[in-house]
Amino acid sequence: YQEKYGKYDAHFIGQNSKKIYLSFDQGYENGYTTPILDTLKEKNCPALFFLTGHYVKTQPELIQRMMDEGHTLGSHSTDHICFPDTPLESCKEDVEWLHSYVKDNFNYEMSLFRFPAGEFSEKTLKLMQDMGYKSVFWSFAYRDWLTDDQPDPTAALQQVTNRLHPGAIYLLHAVSSTNTQIMGDFIDHARAQGYTFAKMK
Q: What share of the chain is helix, strand, coil (3-state, %, to 5)?
A: 45, 15, 40
DSSP reduced 3-state for 103: helix
DSSP reduced 3-state for 25: strand
Residue 168 neighbours by CB under 8 Å, 6+ apart: 13, 14, 20, 21, 139, 140, 195
Buried b (16+ CB within 10 A) or exposed e, 12-39: bbbeeebbbbbbbbbbeeeebbebbbeb
Distance CA 132, CA 53 (A): 19
CB atoms within 10 A of CB 146: 11
Residue 146 CA: distances (Å) to CA of 56, 172, 181, 185: 21, 12, 15, 22
Active site residues: 25, 173
Q: Give the residue among 169, 171, 166, 172 at the shortest CA–CA distance from 194.
A: 166
